[in-house]
Amino acid sequence: MSKLENKTALVTGSSRGIGRATARRLAREGALVAVHYASNAEAAQETVEGIEKEGGRAFTVQAELGVPGDVDTLFEKLTAGLQEHAGEVRLDILVNNAGAMGGQKPEDITPENFDHVIAVNAKAPLFIVQRALPIIPDGGRIINIATGLVRYANPDEIAYSMSKAAIDQISLHFARYLGPRRITVNSVAPGITNNGSPVFDIPEAREFMAGLNAFKQVAEPEDVGDVVAFLASDDARWITGTFVDASGGTLLGG
């Protein structure tokens, strides 16, 4: 039997990148996966089709995060999808992956940009966890995608790093709160990971990015998705409140 047989999972932002790789890996392990997306329905459907080709099960859930009513919309569609595809409203695994980058120099950050990044990366995950608690059974799993940037500096991503530091705090405090229910809550922190952006096709840029970690190569989404899948499994039952560095040893030196 696969490790996640008869489990259900929600992966936010799973139409591409790390979210897609995570959704596919969880499905490969036997979970029914809710593939969340904000606007790219075609890409989300491609994730579902990829899962189904491998013999897995998945369905899409659309909700824009960082706007009024976002969590209500997400859970209305999620509960309907779980009832239809699983026959009950139960969520065993929650992966908060959806995120918004800042990409602004320190002198160019605006209140509007800051508010948007915080709303998507910190506020939405907090209230997604809160809303999920009644339908997560004892022994469930919550995995929040943070970033290696909370441990090293990139001045162009101050707002992003602040928001991801907040999500790490969500993991820490909910881990303590949910411990009596044996629900584990952990953060996974990727480094530079190939998200399909054209910059990864530029040899000089790719060489520079690869040189920042110990393995001297750019991570693929599957490298992070596999770590998430481990934390979602029973093998990780004794790990909670932990910040898992999945950056390939970024900036260890040399």
Q: CB of 8 within 8 A of CB of 82?
A: yes
Residue 211 CA to chain centroid, in angstroms?
Answer: 25
Quick one: CA torsion of 212, 216, 220, 226, rounded to 10 degrees? -100
Full strand arrangement of the beta sheet holding 243-246: 57-62, 32-37, 8-11, 93-96, 141-145, 184-190, 243-246
How far is the C-alpha of 30 from the C-alpha of 226, rounded, in Å? 14
How far is the C-alpha of 29 from the C-alpha of 18, rounded, in Å? 17
Q: CB of 143 within 8 A of CB of 225?
A: no
Q: Could you confirm whether 160 is annotated as catalytic?
A: yes
Q: CB of 94 within 8 A of CB of 141?
A: yes
3-state secondary structure of 230: helix
37, 152, 160, 177: the active-site residue? 160
How far is the C-alpha of 10 from the C-alpha of 26, rounded, in Å? 10
Overall size of the chain counted in residues: 254
Q: Please list the alpha-helical segments (H only) found in the chain.
A: 17-28, 41-53, 70-86, 111-118, 124-132, 158-178, 203-210, 221-232
Give the residue numbers marked as catalytic: 160
